[in-house]
Amino acid sequence: MVCKVYCPTAEIQEIGVVPDEGYNPYFFPVEGAYLSFYFTDETFMKVLSALVNGAQVTYGDEGRAVVWEFLRNVEYPVSLCDQIADCITNNPATRQAIVDLVLSDPSIRDYITAEAMRLTSEQTAGSIMTGECGNSAVAGQVIAIVDKLDEYNTDALQIVEIGTNDEERLATFISGFPAFGLLPADEVLDTMQDWLEDFSENYAAAITPEWKDDVSEDLYCLALSKPDCSLTYQDLFEYFNTRASSGLSILSTVFDLVQFLADGDFNSDELVASGMFSATLSGIVNGRNFFGLTLPTIAAITRDAPSSSAWEDWDECDTPPPVSPITIFNPAGHSGGTYEATGENTARFTASIGGDTVYRVAFQYDNDAPRCVRMNWSIVSGSLAAGFNGTYECGANPAANGYLDGLTVEMPPQGECFAGLGFGSFSPFVIDITFDEC
C-alpha cells in the first residue's frame, strides 16, 4: 500500500493492532481537515510523551513546533458545534440525511403535521370583534358568538349521531374534527364515543336561555375591560376552559383534548355546556376547523352582528383598577408582546413572536411612573428559555438601550426592584405580573 502522507490502515497493520468494527481509514485532504479525539488521562499522557520524544528525534529543532501543533488543537479545540452547524448549512449529504429523517420518522412527521394544523399565536391573539366600544354593539357581538357556537355544536352532534354505523359516524367525526385524524384509528373511535356519550344526550338540556345570557354577560364585561373593547380567540378559549375546569390551555395538543374527553367530569349541566364549548374551541385551535366553523367565520359573525340592548338588564361590570403605567416596546424591531390589566397592580402578559422566531414580552415603566417597583411573576402557560431571559435594573431605560444591552442571563429574584423587564422563549408563553410600589 502506498500512502501519500499518512496511511492509517498500513500503520495500524504494521504494529499489529486490529481496527474496531466499522473502522474507516481517513486521508487528510491537501487543504487540511478537523478531527475529533477521544483520550483518557492515561492514553493522553502516553501519546504526548511519545510525541515529545519522537518529535525531537525526528524533526530536531522543529520538534517543539510539532508538539505545539498537537497541543494547540487539544487546549484550544475547534468547536464541534460550529462544525455541525457548517455541515447542516453547507454539506449536501448532511442536509439530505436530515430530510430523510424527517420524512421517515413517524413521530417527527406527526409533530410537524400537528403544528401545521394548529392556529398560530398571532391568530389566537388577534381580535375576533370589531373593536367598537358602544355597549349595544359589544353586547350584540358577544351574543352572536355564543348563539353561533351553540348552533354549530348542536348541528355537529346531530350530524354525527344520524350515522347508521360506526364507519359513517367516524368519517363524519373526523371530517368535522380534522385534528383527530392525527390519532391512531382505535383512539379516534374511542374519542368519538366519549364525545357522544358526554354531550349527545345532555347538551340540549344544558344549554338554557339563562345559561347563554349569563355567558354573554361575562363575555360582555370581559370585552369592555379591554382597551379596544374586543375579545381575542384566546380570551374566548380561556373563558370556557375555566368554566369547564378542563385544564386545557391555548398550547394544549389534540392529545390533551382526548384526555379531557376521556377523563373529564360532565356530571352537571354547567360542565356539559361549558365542556362542549371547550372541546369545540380546542378543536379549532388544533385543527383550524370544527364542522365548518373557523376563526375567520367567528370574526365574520361579529361583524354582521346586530346591536343588542340586553346589556341594560345585566349587572354593572366590575372594572379592575389600572395597573401602574407601563410601556410595551418592541426590542430591536421585534414584537414586544401584549398585556391586560387583571386587577389592582396586576396584569397578564402574552408573548408575541418576532421576526427572528423568538417570543417576547418586553416592557418598562413610563417616565412619569415611580422608578422603583417590586415585581413578582408566575408562568401561566408555556416556559421561558434561559438564554433569552432578560432583566433591567432600577432606572434602566431598555427602550433606549436596546434589547440585548445590559441584560443578565438569569431572572432576578422575586420581589427585587426593577424599572422594566424582558422575557423571552422559543415557544408561546403567558405570564402574570404583580407590581408592588417600593
Please state which of the ranges 136-140, 183-187, 364-368 shows the lowest mean pLDDT.
Answer: 364-368
Distance CA 403, CA 406 (A): 8
Of 161, 295, 103, 139, which is closest to residue 215 (Cα–Cα)? 139
CB 399 within 8 A of CB 366: no
Determine phi and psi for 135, rounding to 5 degrees: -55, -45
pLDDT of residue 387: 47
CB 393 within 8 A of CB 342: no
Sketch the domain layout of the chain as residue ranges: 1-30, 34-105, 122-313, 326-437
- Which pTM does this prediction carry? 0.59
Please state which of the ranges 6-15, 148-157, 239-248 shows the lowest mean pLDDT.
Answer: 6-15
pLDDT of residue 78: 61
Mean pLDDT of 227-252: 89
Q: What is the distance of C-alpha 331 from the center of its chain?
A: 20
Of 222, 216, 221, 217, which is closest to residue 234 (Cα–Cα)? 222
pLDDT at residue 72 is higher than 90: no
CATH number belonging to the domain at 326-437, selected among 2.40.160, 3.90.550, 1.25.40, 2.60.120: 2.60.120
Please state which of the ranges 141-150, 153-162, 319-328, 407-416 shows the lowest mean pLDDT.
Answer: 407-416
Task: Name the band, by pLDDT with cuts 50, 70 and 90, for residue 208.
Answer: very high
Mean pLDDT value across the chain: 79
Which is more confidently placed, 308 or 356?
Answer: 308
pLDDT of residue 203: 95
**Residue 51: how many other CB atoms lie within 10 Å:** 16
Task: Name the band, by pLDDT with cuts 50, 70 and 90, for residue 307.
Answer: very high
Mean pLDDT of 106-125: 72
Question: Could you give the 3-state DSSP secondary structure of residue 274?
Answer: helix
Rg (CA), the chain: 31
Distance CA 232, CA 213 (A): 20
Mean pLDDT of 73-86: 73
Q: Is 311 exposed, middle or buried (0-12, 13-18, 19+ CB in 10 A)?
A: buried
Taking phi first (over 0 means left), then psi (-120 to 50 degrees means alpha), and beta for anything else, what does residue 220 get?
alpha
Mean pLDDT of 120-134: 86
Which is more confidently placed, 325 or 158?
Answer: 158
Which is more confidently placed, 78 or 266?
Answer: 266
Task: Name the band, by pLDDT with cuts 50, 70 and 90, for residue 23.
Answer: low
**196-200 contacts, C-beta under 8 A, 24 or more apart:** 196/157, 196/160, 196/161, 196/169, 198/261, 198/264, 198/266, 198/272, 198/275, 198/276, 199/153, 199/157, 199/266, 199/272, 199/275, 199/276, 199/279, 200/157, 200/160, 200/161
- Sequence-distant (6+) residues with CB within 8 A of 272 are 198, 199, 202, 203, 206, 266
DSSP of 141-195, one letter per residue?
HHHHHHHHHHHHHHHHHHHHHT-SSHHHHHHHHHHHSGGGGGS-HHHHHHHHHHH
